[in-house]
Amino acid sequence: MTTTSFGASNAAVFIDPTIQIHTFHGLKSTTSLALARHVRFFAPSSSPSSSSSYPLLVRAVSTPAKPGVAAEPKRSKVEIFKEHSNYIRYPLNEELLTDAPNINEAATQLIKFHGSYQQYNREDRGQRSYSFMLRTKNPCGKVSNQLYLTMDDLADHFGIGTLRLTTRQTFQLHGVLKKDLKTVMSTIIRSMGSTLGACGDLNRNVLAPAAPLVRKDYLFAQQTAENIAALLTPQSGFYYDMWVDGEKFMSAEPPEVVEARNDNSNGTNFEDSPEPIYGTQFLPRKFKIAVTVPVDNSVDILTNDIGVVVISDAEGEPQGFNIYVGGGMGRTHRQETTFPRLGEPLGYVPKEDILYAVKAIVVTQRENGRRDDRKYSRLKYLISSWGIEKFRSVVEQYYGKKFKPFRELPEWKFESYLGWHEQGDGHLYCGLHVDSGRIAGQMKKTLREVIEKYNLDVRITPNQNIILTNIRNAWKRPITTVLAQSGLLQPRYVDPLNLTAMACPAMPLCPLAITEAERGIPDILKRVRAVFEKVGLKYSESVVIRITGCPNGCARPYMAELGLVGDGPNSYQLWLGGKPNQTSLARTFMDKVKIHDLEKVLEPLFYHWKRKRHSKESFGDFTNRLGFEKLKELVEKWDGPVLAPARYNLKLFADKDTFEAMDNLARLQNKNAHQLAMEVVRNYVAAQQNGRNE
């Protein structure tokens, strides 16, 4: 018999194929938990009363077999990998020591819990060139000066020379080779960063408004997000064992977090387990949480498994929280049983109970979420199956209390926090737009120079942008000037379409991507702008556009006014009907729209929005009001916009020769002379004025 140690503080697990394992099938009640505490390993010659019984191994396995049926419930392959992994260690620990550039199937699943995905360049021909993507975990998007500079260095020395800001307020570092993984991981950890739990079947990064506002509600929301992240961080030490040889780099946790994690008064915990909340199996799938304050929907609150909203009294003192549950974006093409879903109200809890309420929701999903088919393993499917009333009732058993009625909220508003703003403590912050979150080239170099020179901390936003914080007033002018010179412009100089657009990385590294997203969105946005100009929409007008290379929805396209979801090579499914404040789901409008045919669909839609909309009616609201049947009819009958007779714009062009020269250049870009001239003028004005009087 061989013994594998969990660490000095943990009991040993005996790995022997001859041992008969008495399997526990899930914590369904306090009673079943009590029974589970007596489960033991027994050697074939032993009996339950034998003194040679072995240490406890509790397994959280959802959907137990029916009474009288001996067979175990069906489980996915990933569940088996987790069960046999010695708490997310084996066989990853062995695979990392081999000379091969890649790791095996089981290790590929397990390394996600450590914050990494194995990838390969799908455009390479011949032998696959494997690399790894690392994702950090930054509650509230907070990044210290030291960690930013470390990530910037790692991108150059071990990655592909770029950093990527994600839609969950984290960094992604692409292109790390297997032989460099331990160096990169340990460097991040020693810089007080982490990738633990950034991927895998557990709680992901906890979102909160990135703005460093010195306001009671914002500070309380951010502190709550950090506490929830700490509560749901794995405890068994696998991460530190793997990357820093067991040395832990952790700040002291608030006592309320430790108390909530250890509390088992309502049967939530696996006692005597290295993972009191997660057990050996962790969760059925990834789990996402966001915290915010009323009005501020910078976090896409309704797309999360749990959405937490700070509720304050008339004096601005936080009193408690509204809780939404059941949001999620992922789906599968041509499987109507998979779908995006909005979170719905669960109830209100006083502020001192939030960690216990969140833990109760997580445990309800742990015990009842499907583990047989990962397509249906998210919390949203459990709630859709049960209904909110049954779900609330089960959660209340683990919470130990009844939820109070959901408090009324004002209308949500999307906040970008771009540009210069007061923090409220005498300092400034500056929000910078980054197309698709990709920091590269001169932009990357300049950002580093500014962050290093002024010793700034930063925040990452859920819209893939970056905020520089704690800036003195005297630094505003020089910072603005140097940023503008590298293309980091003030928001008034950025096309409004770009300001709200998002895209996932997609090709060539994502194994799930069907078509382009990040690499394709710049051209798509330019084409949409050209359509706007063609049909007479103003430059200041915009729609929320989000593009993903597959239906998993990492850039949350199902909340967009215009969502493009990859459904084939150079082909997209079009979704319409989301709102600018991200409070309603879009719906499928058309399938298999080839990228070169995009204008044939968008021109009639934008043309009729321009002419038939109500006052201040958004594009998403317009498409819902007219209905998709009518919109499809307009697309099918489209013969082009009714344009005014062509004429020379003598206010813009001083002579015919200049007009004709500009017109010839414009035709090469599918534009007219006026459109190109206006673009040149706008760029010139931006270049001259940006940085002045800032």
Average pLDDT along the chain: 88
Residues 332 and 379 occupy one common structural domain: yes
Nearest 5°: CA angle at 432, between 428 and 435? 170
276 and 349 assigned to the same domain: yes
The whole-number pLDDT of residue 670 equals: 65
**Residue 662 resides in a domain:** yes
Residues 449 and 518 in one domain: no
Q: Which residues contact 385 (CB under 8 A, 6 or more apart)?
A: none
Residue 36, pLDDT > 70, answer: no
Judgement on whether residues 572 and 441 belong to the same structural domain of the protein: no
CATH number of the CATH domain containing 276: 3.30.413.10
Question: In the chain, what is the straight-line distance between the N-terminal and C-terminal CA atoms, in Å?
Answer: 72
Q: Does a structural domain hold residue 607?
A: yes
Tell whether 632 and 570 lie within a shared domain. yes
Answer whether 276's CB lies under 8 Å from 366's CB.
no
Is 289 part of a structural domain of the chain? Answer: yes
169 part of a folded domain: no
Residue 364 lies in a domain: yes
Cβ(382)–Cβ(371) below 8 Å: no
**Contacts with 463 (C-beta within 8 Å, 6 or more apart), sequence order:** 167, 298, 416, 500, 502
Would you place residue 136 in the very low, low, confident or very high pLDDT band (cuts 50, 70, 90)? very high
Stated pTM of the model: 0.85
In a domain, residue 540? The reply is yes
| CB-based contact 143:458 (threshold 8 Å) | yes
The pLDDT of residue 518 is above 60? yes
| Final residue belonging to a domain, choices 446, 473, 494 | 494
Do 391 and 267 fall within a single domain? yes
Where is the domain boundary, 415, 437, 458? 415
Same domain, residue pair 346 and 219: yes
Which residue range(s) make up the domain with 675?
656-690
> Does position 376 have pLDDT exceeding 80, yes or no?
yes
- Give residue 686's pLDDT: 62
Question: Do residues 310 and 407 share a domain?
Answer: yes
- The answer to whether residues 308 and 364 belong to one domain is yes
Higher pLDDT, 486 or 16: 486
> 689 or 4: whose pLDDT is higher?
689
**Residues 530-535: contacts with CB under 8 Å, at least 24 apart:** 530/670, 530/671, 530/675, 531/599, 531/602, 531/603, 531/606, 532/497, 532/606, 533/671, 533/675, 534/603, 534/641, 535/603, 535/606, 535/607, 535/610, 535/641
Instruction: Say if residue 300 is in the same domain as residue 429.
Output: no
How many Cα atoms sit within 13 Å of 470 on the Cβ side?
A: 11
Both 410 and 337 in one domain: the answer is yes
pLDDT at 681: 73
When mean pLDDT is compared across 35-44, 479-488, 644-653, the lowest value belongs to: 35-44
Q: Is the domain of 464 the same as that of 336?
A: no
Count structural domains, the chain. Answer: 4
- In the listed set 445, 463, 494, which residue is the last one of a domain according to the structure? 494
